[in-house]
Amino acid sequence: MFICGQCGYESRKWLGRCPDCGEWGSLAEERRPGKVRKTQRSQASVQPLTEAVPGEQGRLVTGIGELDRVLGGGIVPGSLVLIGGDPGIGKSTLILQLLSALARVGRVLYVTGEESARQIRMRADRLRICDETILLATENCVESITDMARDTRPLLLAVDSIQTMYSEEVGSAPGSVTQVRESTARLLTLAKSSGLPVILIGHVTKDGSLAGPRVLEHMVDTVLYFEGDRGQVFRILRTVKNRFGSTNEIGVFEMKESGLAEVDNPSALFLAERPVNVPGSVVLPSVEGTRPILVEVQALVSPSSLGTARRTAIGADPQRLALLTAVLEKKIGVTLFDHDIFLNIAGGIRIDEPALDLGMVVALLSSFYEKTIDPATVVCGEVGLAGEIRAVGQMDLRLREAERLGFKTFLLPASSTRQLEGKVVDGIDLVGVRTVQDIVSELFTG
């Protein structure tokens, strides 16, 4: 069979393009698993829903606050968690620190198919981890791993990585679509039947998505992405899928010589090196899940010497930047078609919520007019195609975070000022704006 490496589509002949997902050159020849000998079926027990054990009561708290946050309060027994990220981003370091935190409670099992036991010991010595309750095994066969887990009965099983595992009943090479799918299915059966939580580490492709078939993300309970530039010290652990909690949470870590350290106050960290009284810089109160984070939005608008002006955005959607540029040209009359525009979210974090719009607009106008924004001002709101400023959610969280860090002025949609009646914090001046023309008159004229 020829199987697509992106979506798992199967065909009896090779095709240049997958008919299901449209990916080119993704079909590879693989042997289908042989027939499995039928065994006697076990009768599943039937019980009322009200008698099922609540999952929230048995969560395994890791003690790493940022990790517990993205998991929804801890690891649920019998859950299958997949952690992906670029090579060298810190996935194995995070897993080793997690196992060390849980080793104080009971035995944990770490199975690696990529590194030797000596390499793991070297990393553990660097992190100053020397727990005897951490069991280590170098194994690639998933059947042997399940046997080890049933014999040792650990508190947690960590597998590094799922792309190196193989099943004896599948003839394909490790890392193929069939092997990844079958190995994950075996570990999923182990987790659900025994209540053992299993954490998998997955490789990512060049475009940043998890390697292997898309069905891999559907099989697991939780998918976490470890983001960040290896040239920076910040690491962002983002929840993409979570059957036991919110999918908008993030955890912030700082990479040090002794390992990953939690960042309890990421707002202060992201604003620590913020320049003062510089055009093109403004602070945005963003919300990731239940956590408010203040980030700096930077913009640089300069005349272009090329025939086509450039539009570059780092940490934000480039299409949204082009849209807002067109809105400013149409509604305010600023000439931006012959200017290069560069936008950056400082600190290496990515913001995808609509509340970023107003921060982008203010930063662009500040750089274009060469006028600075008051360092004690924060802005937040969505911008529509008609130039109107729309309300966004969770304004009370954003307001309290801005007050905690000492900001004095909050530029926000006029409709949100009514929502904050009775929640206004002393010391912050709320300035409501309705259109992008109001922004110009409020900040850049007079």
Binding residues: 85-92
* 201 phi, psi to nearest 5 deg: -105, 130
| Binding site listing for ATP | 85-92
In terms of Cβ atoms closer than 10 Å to its own Cβ (0-12, 13-18, 19+), residue 84 is buried
Residue 224, helix vs strand vs coil: strand
Say if CB 66 and CB 252 are below 8 A apart: yes
Residue with tokens 């897993």: 95
Residue with tokens 């530039």: 229
Q: Is 329 left (phi over 0), alpha (psi -120 to 50) or beta?
A: alpha
Say if CB 35 and CB 44 are below 8 A apart: no
Other CB atoms closer than 10 Å to residue 421's CB: what's the count?
8
Identity of the amino acid at 254: E
Q: Kindly report the CA angle at 48 between 42 and 49, in degrees rounded to 5? A: 105
- Strand blocks (E) in 116-257: 134-138, 157-160, 198-202, 222-227, 234-242, 250-256
The closest of 85, 380, 105 to 95, measured between CA atoms, is 85
Which residues in 252-278 are b (16+ Cβ under 10 Å) and which e?
Answer: bbbbeeebbeebeebbebbbeebeeee
The closest of 69, 83, 398, 76 to 251, measured between CA atoms, is 69
Report how far residue 428's alpha carbon sits from residue 398's, in angstroms, rounded to the nearest whole number.
Answer: 12
Report how far residue 411's alpha carbon sits from residue 443's, in angstroms, rounded to the nearest whole number.
Answer: 10
Report how far residue 252's alpha carbon sits from residue 238's, in angstroms, rounded to the nearest whole number.
Answer: 9
What ranges in 155-303 are assigned the alpha helix state H?
Answer: 177-194, 215-219, 266-270
Helix (H) or strand (E) holding 68: helix 65-71
The widest CA-to-CA distance across the chain, in whole angstroms, is: 83
Say if CB 135 and CB 108 are below 8 A apart: yes
